[in-house]
Amino acid sequence: MNHTFLAPTDTPLTLSRRHALALALGSLAWPALAQTTPAWSGTQSKARGQTVYFNAWGGGDNINAYIQWAGAEVSKRYGVKVEHVKVTDTADVVKRVRNEKAAGKLSGGSVDMVWINGENFLAMKREGLLFGPFAEKLPSYAFVDVQGKPTTRVDFSEPVDGMEAPWGMAQLTFFADSKRVSAPPHSMTELLAFAKARPGRVTYPRLPDFHGATFIKQALTELNTDRTALYKPVTPDALAKASAPLWAYLDALHPHLWRAGKQFPQNAAAVRQMMADGELLLAFTFNPNEAANEIAAKRLPASVISYQFRSGTIGNTHFLAIPFNSAAAAGAQVFADFLLGAEAQARKADIAVWGDPTVLAVEKLPAAERARFAAKPLPGQVEVSAPAIPEPHGSWVGPLEKEWLARYGQ
């Protein structure tokens, strides 16, 4: 799983008394919403006393602190202990569960919940390595924005089918210093014109960097009016037809990029730093709150704005899944439900805590829960969100990267 996560800041949000009161009332209201059926009460009873080994990326101090907070709350409220098993590559977790199944360990597995999406989810789903369906049975799922955020039910073109619970959102987001860029480009066509008018001031990371690949997928989807083939397993004919306008576009764009498109930065962090230094005019991220985080940390000026292309940008959801042989499936469901609730989602969305966008339809929440998200947007946050364009089928990435490297990876 690829992540765009930033170091935590020590800049707290300032809450009004009214907002603080709403939060306090909400903390009483939400648990009541999460105990609406006898079946769920039974799950909570079974969960009490269980230990959930939550396998999740451990490379971000802010994220680790958030998971520690959530675990403490679940322990206090529901008697479920959470152990954060810090991993660097989710594929290793998939391999471990696969090996346990091959060895006949059909219960009492070492993994109780895993942070996952994309190809790792696809592998676990197709190999029968998942518990469920469970996600849409969670009480908190009632407020998931399945209409406005369709990727909460489709993971890299693979139907979720309730086998993983949505946890957070990611979407390609551009940012620029409004003091230097008064009219930033809002489409790939406008980006080409922008680069031509400002040679050497725009670039993107070298593939196979995740952000570089996302930039390519954005161009691929925009340049194909019929995207049907992009959401099916790739074939040589489909690849040739769909990628033809992409290569033509990049051939036109590259001569106007930084170092005339002969070299590319290694990652998005390098592009962001080059923009901060004034060498570039644009940068981009897969975390819509990244610029706000950087402003809060004093690494970008408050004049930086974030935006998404008007017609939409590539987006996806990251999820929580439970392996088929979890030793604490009930506890994992209780933990997942808590993480999906308004209290935990609002805290996660706070850039002073993490800055990971919510999967909930905030406008559909009860008033007290909606108030949790009512803080005034901070400098650098996206003011108007654009539609999320679903990721092409995961099988497209490898062939696109291979062809890009053959054409441009000198």
Ordered by start, the domain boundaries in the chain are 17-169+317-373, 173-307+388-408
CA angle centred on 346, ends 344 and 347, rounded to 5°: 65
| Answer CATH for 173-307+388-408 from 3.40.50.720, 1.10.3720.10, 3.40.190.10, 3.90.470.20 | 3.40.190.10
CA angle centred on 116, ends 63 and 102, rounded to 5°: 130
pLDDT of residue 33: 45
pLDDT digits (tens, 9 = 90+) for 271-307: 999 999 999 999 999 989 899 989 988 999 999 999 9
pLDDT of residue 355: 87
Provide the token pair at 65: 């602190």
Provide the token pair at 35: 């105990």
In one letter, which amino acid is 297? Answer: A
pLDDT of residue 148: 84
- b/e sequence 225-244, b meaning 16+ C-beta within 10 Å: eeeebbeeebeeebbeebbe
pLDDT digits (tens, 9 = 90+) for 353-376: 998 999 999 999 999 999 998 777
Residue whose tokens read 């990628």:
243
Whether the domain at 17-169+317-373 and the domain at 173-307+388-408 fall into the same CATH topology: yes
Residues of the chain with pLDDT under 70: 1-36
pLDDT of residue 334: 98
Q: Which CATH superfamily is domain 17-169+317-373 in?
A: Periplasmic binding protein-like II (3.40.190.10)
Backbone angles phi, psi at 328, to 5 degrees: -145, 55
pLDDT of residue 36: 66
d(CA 97, CA 24): 40
pLDDT of residue 118: 86
Global pTM value: 0.79
d(CA 292, CA 321): 29
In terms of Cα–Cα distance, which of 43, 34, 66 is closest to 354?
Answer: 66
Which regions of 105-191 does DSSP assign to beta strands (E)? 113-116, 154-155, 158-159, 164-171, 173-177
